[in-house]
Chain A
């Protein structure tokens, strides 16, 4: 929120330089920032609009922090003990409007707004309009209470605070038309809505150059109702922001008291009558303070009196406590504008921030000796990362939005853009894009991503995507090898890669846990249900004895009469069910019809004789001959 340093200077005459003041506020109240000219910005916390969204509030904080004297602005006392009855107010629901104050003024000579006031308004980003509006705006900035002036002669009958009728229409002073609902609070006369309460005034009772008498409204409204209406109508004003954050009904009177002084001084008006309707009196808040608990929460070692000194500065009142307890406790009454202070912990904050959180001495905590742990999911993701980076893959992070979706996709209420309408169901889609973009700079690209995917059936889980782009055929085969390496690395044994048209389905048992497919001519992608892999992962591995006996190799070169996939040949070799075969490899691949396989024989028990191996090898050959037509090269 923007503030004027000029205004602070009027309230705390011996204020430091702007830079120093901003620093003091930042370190002990709320983050503040120097802006060009006389302006500075303070980030008023959401629950401190009642006391601090005003120059007086910021000056008060500054004065408490530094001990510099606050010079309170001149105030009148407008509410008469016996009103003349020139203004009448009816509040339909006191929860909607805890307090409504209104004063009638007779306009006199309208002078010019003085330059000091114009300066402060401009510092805060407001445009001067005319003395009456300017004074009311100024009071809002100074005291924190939004106010509104109606042309008194355009209002018929009593002022009513009521809910709008469904479909009720209003044109605001800036000529916007709104259709209201029963959720909106309006200020109305006997004929129509004259203002959207707490947000904006209506056109029909607007103050004009012909206006002779005005009614100045200073009221308090239900913050949630104002917030809802403001959001629904998409109508955000200085007033609506303040009301939506919650103000104190006490400000109602302060605002009018200050406005009267300035309106008389600047606009030459005369107060005729005032009325205060305050059905929901703000109750006093009393909170107990326990210094031991305070010390326990902050790590400080305060005596009860030390703590009280801080609260006293902040305007709290001490209440004698009739308690027999030995604890060092007392009760405090919260200043009426400090609506944010509700519980003991709020008092702790008040004291410790004035003391200076930065000045608090750090203390090592007592930590229980129970060992710290990482969850399986965290460790498993690390393991995937380790395996894949070890074999040359680089990790990427992508956004989780998707352009396309289906009935199982989660869809955003309000997507950021047309191509970001859904939550991704697959992680590999983005990798395809990454391969393409990186191909401008790299010849061989190996990437992976671990991240969440979403699906209405299964919900959220994490998946693994791998992408590879190199030479046409080798991409797919390398990726296939990578997936195998990964699955072996995880200790998974019972998996299979099952061809399905042009892709491979990765299966464990009957369960599909992923697939590998082509992208373009020279790229390949794989996606795996990593969370399922985590469940299937084998823990520790057991030692496998290493054979003491030599391995014997036999190569067989086939010249196929018709194309048969390597997978089928390997399967047939396995089906030959021959003794002591420990490995079968495709070692030469001339073309789809000319292949060489190497078969490795080894026994754990003895050295195999050449004749034995030949016999077994011949069994394989004859088995193959029956199934697949070929010639030996």
Chain B
């Protein structure tokens, strides 16, 4: 009589050499079929003592499962055959696991792409800033009430060191960039900004902004309108949005502009502050304001995403909640 060890050995050996589906089926019948070798061994167990039956039986069954598994795998390897008709293809598909980019990154990438297509370069700057770059150089002197519009996280000062803060806007990068580059140029500056304020559905202690700056000899306000309108057109492609431009005041621009946006028929939403770069800002960056002119603007990235994807609360972006992130 065949021993289990013997069957095991020859079954595995034959499995190695099997070449096609037919051979595999023959092998299955030979070992696992109703009149197969293994079935024979299992049948012969009834003649043994209970102790022998137990050990041998469990061993034989284990082998049976393992062989079936290997044969199944081999069938898969040989590919589609008759076997596929047994698969219920109306069962739910298996979800492949994948990673998701955060909506903020996605939106930022989209914005960068649009501006790159209009020949704007992308520049970054530090989040931990000096008082000079964040305020003074932007025509926001100390003890000016206008500063109160930028609630600021101040860092405990080092002895004798310059006052540091978390930048309340991306505008400091205007100065940093102009210190090292000569016009003409056009850039956008995406980055995280911070406001020391109570949070609600539309305000958070940090948010992403992108700054735009275009400087040359004849860059004008009508050019600014063009760029912004094109941007909205691209970003909200397929969605009917309109923008309106109205006067505003920011110490680092003159004239100052604010841009609102709405879906046809909806309410106006404030989207960005902008304007023609103030001569004092050019001076702070060591340009002669008689030589150059240009526009600057700043826009919230969450704001854009919230409108585009109808997100009700800005704080969701920083919740780390995968149920939110994996939606996009």
A residues engaging B (CB < 8 A)?
Answer: 26-31, 45-48, 224, 227-228, 241, 244-245, 296-300, 343, 345-346, 348-349, 352-353, 357-358, 360-375, 377-378, 382, 385, 388-400, 410-414, 416, 423, 430, 433-434, 437-438, 441-442, 444-447, 451-452, 454, 456, 459-460
Contacts and interface: CB of A to CB of B under 8 A. Distances in A.
Given A296-B218, A391-B99, A413-B154, A438 B320 contact: yes
Contact of B255 (A345, A372, A430): A345
A473 B7 CA distance: 37
A48 B256 CA distance: 13
A434 B154 CA distance: 27
Contacts of A352: 221, 255
Nearest to A399: B318
A423 B128 CA distance: 10
A363 B228 CA distance: 11
A396 B320 contact: yes
Nearest to B98: A392
Interface string B218-237: 11111101110100000000
Contact of B318 (A31, A363, A397): A397
A224 B145 CA distance: 9
A394 B104 CA distance: 12
A363 B227 CA distance: 9
B126 A298 contact: no
A17 B317 CA distance: 41
B244 to A, nearest CB: 5
A459 B221 contact: no
B17 interface: no
B246 A412 contact: no
Given A345-B255, A413-B155, 20 more contacts: A30-B248, A30-B249, A46-B144, A241-B145, A296-B218, A297-B276, A352-B221, A352-B255, A361-B225, A362-B226, A365-B219, A372-B119, A372-B120, A373-B122, A385-B105, A389-B98, A393-B99, A396-B322, A438-B322, A460-B128
B245 interface: yes
Contacts of B169: none
B124 A377 contact: yes
B56 to A, nearest CB: 23
B246 A296 contact: no
Contacts, number: 228
B124 A375 contact: yes
B276 A345 contact: yes
A375 B249 contact: no
Interface in B96-129: 97-102, 104-105, 109, 112, 115-116, 118-124, 126-128
A293 to B, nearest CB: 9
A148 to B, nearest CB: 21
Main SS at interface, chain B? mixed
Contacts of A345: 254-255, 276, 278-279
Interface in B272-328: 276, 278-279, 293, 317-318, 320-323, 325-326
Nearest to B115: A372
Contacts of B67: none
B221 A353 contact: no
Contacts of A396: 102, 320, 322, 325
A310 to B, nearest CB: 13
Main SS at interface, chain A? mixed
Given A389-B100, A412-B155, A430-B320, A348 B222 contact: no
Contact of A414 (B154, B258, B317): B154
Nearest to B191: A452
B40 interface: no
B246 A27 contact: yes
12 contacts: A244-B145, A345-B255, A349-B247, A349-B254, A357-B225, A360-B225, A363-B226, A364-B226, A369-B119, A389-B101, A397-B318, A423-B128
A375 B166 CA distance: 22
Given A46-B145, A460-B128, A444 B254 contact: no
B156 interface: yes
Contact of B220 (A28, A296, A385, A416): A296
B254 A357 contact: no
A412 B276 contact: no
A392 B101 CA distance: 10
A375 B123 contact: yes
Nearest to B147: A46
Given A31-B258, A441-B323, A399 B99 contact: no
Given A378-B122, A391-B99, A412-B154, A365 B226 contact: yes
A357 B119 contact: no
A298 B223 CA distance: 9
A20 B99 CA distance: 51
A352 B118 CA distance: 26
A358 B99 contact: no
Contacts of B325: 394-396
Contacts of B39: none
A416 B116 CA distance: 37
A343 B278 CA distance: 10
A6 B145 CA distance: 29
Contacts of A366: 216, 218
Nearest to A231: B143
Contact of A372 (B121, B222, B227): B121
Contacts of A377: 124
B122 A375 contact: yes
A191 B128 CA distance: 50
Interface string B158-175: 100000101000000000
A101 B121 CA distance: 57
A377 B126 CA distance: 12
B184 interface: yes
Given A31-B246, A362-B226, A397 B102 contact: yes
Contacts of B138: none
B279 A398 contact: no
Given A46-B145, A358-B245, A400-B206, A444 B97 contact: yes
Contacts of B158: 456
B57 interface: no
B102 A349 contact: no
Contact of A438 (B196, B254, B321): B321
Contacts of B218: 296, 366
A413 B163 CA distance: 11
B124 A360 contact: no
A357 B251 contact: no
A212 B221 CA distance: 60
A241 B146 CA distance: 11
B257 interface: yes
Contacts of A445: 322
A423 B206 CA distance: 13
Contact of B221 (A46, A47, A298, A452): A298
Listed from nearest, the 9 A-B pairs whose CB atoms lie closest are A299-B222, A45-B249, A349-B255, A389-B99, A365-B223, A434-B320, A353-B247, A362-B226, A395-B102
Interface centre among A393, A410, A411, A413 (most CB of B within 10 A): A413
Contacts of B326: 394
A343 B145 contact: no
